[in-house]
Amino acid sequence: MLNTADENRRRHDLHPDHPVWLFGYGSLIYKADFPYLARRPASISGWVRRFWQGSHDHRGTPDKPGRVVTLIEAPGMVCAGMAYRITPDVFEHLDHREKNGYLRVTTPLSFADGQHEQGLVYIATADNAAFLGEASEPQIADHIAASHGPSGSNAEYLLQLAEALRQLDVVDEHVFHIEHYLLRACD
């Protein structure tokens, strides 16, 4: 397992008195277990959400990792999610939560009102030790159906993410197709 918490602390020199925007595209959309100053739907360009990252510590185990989302570069595409205005001390919790291969990256954020801000986002790239990579959506659904970890079932993660995206009026075919295959397999 790759623990990225220390690397994330070194990556950004954040001033304690300057809040920052954090973009969430997976569980951060529906599980804001941290204090925030503001919360707004947002999007980032050039990325798509994919269930290609392994979860050894939340939705799976080291022996049987689950699958969670990361971002994959995709020119011309837009990934919608939720942005949180947070104080830098919140990253102590978030760096631990996202430690399984995710690194903080600076990104431009777009809001529905046309406003733009710089923010941070956690991305697990293909070179991290927990990256599982591409698979067909039915294979991903089967993998998710069979995975469980300390934070609960991998299926619960997928279903909560799909519902959160619907509440934001976001259509994500990758997530919704996997949800379809998962629900069909559970019937």
Annotated catalytic residues are: 98
In Å, how far are 49, 108, 170 from 134, measured between CA atoms? 12, 26, 22
Q: Three-class SS of residue 4? A: coil
Nearest alpha-carbon partner for 98 in 134, 141, 68:
68
DSSP state of 106: E
Kindly give the pairing relationship between strand 66-86 and strand 148-149: unpaired
User: What is the separation of C-alpha 23 from the centre of its chain, rounded to a whole number of angstroms?
Assistant: 9
The tokens of 53 are what?
Answer: 């990252």
Q: Where are the alpha helices (DSSP H) in 31-172?
A: 91-97, 137-145, 154-167
Which stretches of 31-152 are DSSP H helices?
A: 91-97, 137-145
Distance CA 28, CA 1 (A): 21
Measured torsion, CA atoms of residues 121, 32, 124, 120, in degrees rounded to the nearest 10: 10
